[in-house]
Amino acid sequence: MKHLDDKVAAVTGAGSGIGRALALHLADQGCRLALSDVSADGLAETERLLAGRARAVTTAVVDVADEAAVGAWADAVVDDHGRANLVVNNAGVALSGTVAALSTDDYRWIMGINFWGVVHGTKAFLPHLEASGEGHVVNISSVFGLTAQPLMSGYNASKYAVRGFTESLRQDLELTRSCVSATCVHPGGIKTNIARSARVDRSVAGVTGRPAEAATKDFEKSFITTPARAAEVIVEGVRKNRRRVLIGPDARVLDAIARLAPTGYQRLVTGAVRSRSGR
């Protein structure tokens, strides 16, 4: 899909962050937009920013963890716009805590949104993308889908799952000679509110020796790439039909470290956390 002009693009998590930046950038490429988010207020603000900028915009409040809701939204997108050419499964949340402290409900919560939300979006839109004659699936993983981090087991699990699912999807599409392709995106630290809206268990303070709020602020200092830049890189990845897209210098560095020291990097990361906590 080298040209996006007049294509219909569906984006989840469009009420803020990368999703909002993608909506704005895709509008500038001439796309018709179908946007969803769990936040009605966030969607309304994105729609306001798109006024006079997009050819057409529809919005829907959708919880991506709800398979039926995602399926109904996908059908509504085609009813409203006549087709669907691109879906970006971007909606995501964060969770932090030790494995011992987190509950199985915590894991179900994050997997329901970060992983199952991607599966729901892919499955719901894939037949419509096929019917369009030219389609693309973009699934947002993370640099934490390339390297594991302490205190982030739920987030890591969900983002590794997105990576495996999307890489297998791409191969399926090639084997069946589909007109649809797929790209897995691994952002590094992006200046969004995901850290501030994360669920943080008290075990984080116990391990790091710092209150959760202070740890979050420290973590946010590593967010060096803007959502607007992330959107540009993602769209370029679609145009070039890339299998994997890394966003930000931190993502490229961590990817290289994981390749060079696939197990050794874990000691480096743990050591860095200990050093910051003074332990």
The closest alpha carbon to 29, from 236, 272, 225, belongs to 236
**What six digits make up the tokens of 253?**
């560095």
d(CA 79, CA 77): 5
For 107, the token pair is 């894991």
Residue 114, Cβ density class (10 Å: 0-12 exposed, 13-18 middle, ≥19 buried)? buried
Q: What is the DSSP string of 43-58?
A: HHHHHHHTTTTSS-EE
**208 to 194, 211, 213, 269, 274: CA distances (angstroms):** 20, 8, 12, 13, 7
CA distances from 171 to 31, 175, 181, 259, 273 (A): 27, 6, 9, 22, 37
Cα-based distances in Å from 231 to 40, 174, 235, 251: 22, 25, 6, 15
Nearest to 39 by CA among 52, 67, 20, 22: 20
CA-nearest of 7, 199, 12, 190 to 91 is 12
Collect all residues with Cβ–Cβ distance below 8 Å to 211 and sequence separation of at least 6. 205
DSSP 143: G
Provide the annotated active-site residues. 155
